Each structure stands twice: as C-alpha cells, then as structure tokens.
Structure 1
Amino acid sequence: MMNEKENCVGMIEILENEIAKEMQTKKIALKHNQKYGKKSLGKRIAPQVVVLLESFFLEGNVYKNRRMNGHTMRDKLVEKQENGELARDIEIPEVFFINNWIARFSVKSKKNLSEQAIASF
C-alpha cells in the first residue's frame, strides 16, 4: 500500500516537472508570469527634434514643393546639428523612426483639422 502511494507521488512529481519544462519551452503565458503596467518606454525623440520635425512637416503642407520624406528630414537635422542650431548631445533618430513619426503626426494633424472644421459649423 505504501509502495503504491510512493509510486503515485513520484509519478505526479515527474509529470509536474515535465509539464513545467514543456511550458517553459513553449512560453505559455501563465497568470503568475504576467507583467502589468506600461510597456518599456525605450528611447523617445527629443522635444527639440520633435519641434523641428513638426516645422518640416507643416512647411511641406503649406508649400507642396518643400515636402520632405524621412531621409531628407534626417539630413536636415544632421545639418542643423553640425551648424550648432541643435545641441550635439541630442540624439538624432534613424530614418525608420522619423517615418513612423511622420505617419503618426499626419494622422494626428488630420484629426485636429477635422475637429476644427466640425467645430466651425
């Protein structure tokens, strides 16, 4: 009788260990492993750079021949940093991040313009 209980306990422990290993390899989300709160913030675009990016974008909206893509905006930022208009310690974002910023800002500015148009009626 005791042998059977010991065997059952041993088998249960073996199964629990195997299940735990399988969960770790498959990365199954368990409630006790969940992380709550904000995602990692990572790097942010410096406020001085955002102001310049906004001015480049809005200038392109006013004068269609002055529209810029991510590459030209980054080149302008590098040029301003070399001329001393932008501090040397400020990190200039990569083209990928500038393109993402352009997409987000475009949506935000269109939404603001739509809200202003609706409010004027």
Structure 2
Amino acid sequence: MSNDRLNTVNFPLPSGWALKERQKYGKKGAGKRIAKKVRKILEGYFLAGNADKSDRYTAQDMYQALQQRVLEGDIEAEDVPKVSTIQSWIGRYTRQHREHAAQTSVI
C-alpha cells in the first residue's frame, strides 16, 4: 500500500468535509416554525393559566389540547409542534410576557 492510501484510510473525516457548500454556518433558526394560528392558540392557553393559577397548562397539556383541536378540525396535524418545542416556546413567551409587564408597570 502506498503512503497516500494509508493517510486517506485513517483520516477521520469524510472526503469533501471542508467544501463551502457543506458548511452549516448561518442556518440557525432555519427549521420549521410554529404556525401563527397555533401560536395564537398557545398564547390563549398560556394567558388562561396566567389569569387563574389553578388552571395552568403544562407543555404536555397544551400538546394534548392541540391534538384535540386536530380531531375537531380546527388545525392540521402537521401544524402541531412537539412537546419539547412547546416547552421552549413557553420559556421564551414567559420571558417576553414578563418584560412586557415590567415595561407597562413602569410607564
């Protein structure tokens, strides 16, 4: 075996790994987005739980409520996000909601 053949066999990365078209930079947030209609429904569930602390929705509760909406024909099944996506959305929306509430209470 030649020396060049040995180097390519033991190299841990696949051929072409450094090509510009294979780079994944700048693609943050390029995935599937939550549909506007679904986002509005999630906001309603969040605000209902915010108004009455005993009626709080968890991410799993919201997911099940969205699945029920699919059965009723209000939304499409492919528009329902995963539980982990809903959980992330709750975290972001909670932060935004608190910031908005803090700004309006100061004014």
1:78 is matched with which residue? 67
* Percent identical: 31
- 1:110 aligned to 98, 102, 107, which one? 98
Q: Normalising by structure 2, report the TM-score.
A: 0.74
Higher helix share: 1
Q: Alpha-carbon deviations, 1:59-98, whole Å to 9, x = none?
A: 00101111010000000000011012x2325421111110
Q: Normalising by structure 1, report the TM-score.
A: 0.66
Q: Which has the larger radius of gyration?
A: 1
Q: Does 1:98 align with 2:86?
A: yes
* Conserved? CA contact 1:77–1:92, under 8 Å: yes
Unaligned runs of 5+ in 1: 1-13
Change over 3 Å in CA distance of 1:40–1:54 after alignment to 2:
closer
Change over 3 Å in CA distance of 1:35–1:81 after alignment to 2:
closer
Q: How far is 1:40 from its partner?
A: 5.0
Q: Partners in 2 of 1:41 and 1:35 — Cα distance?
A: 11
2:76 is matched with which residue? 88
Q: Partners in 2 of 1:58 and 1:40 — Cα distance?
A: 26
Unaligned runs of 5+ in 2: none
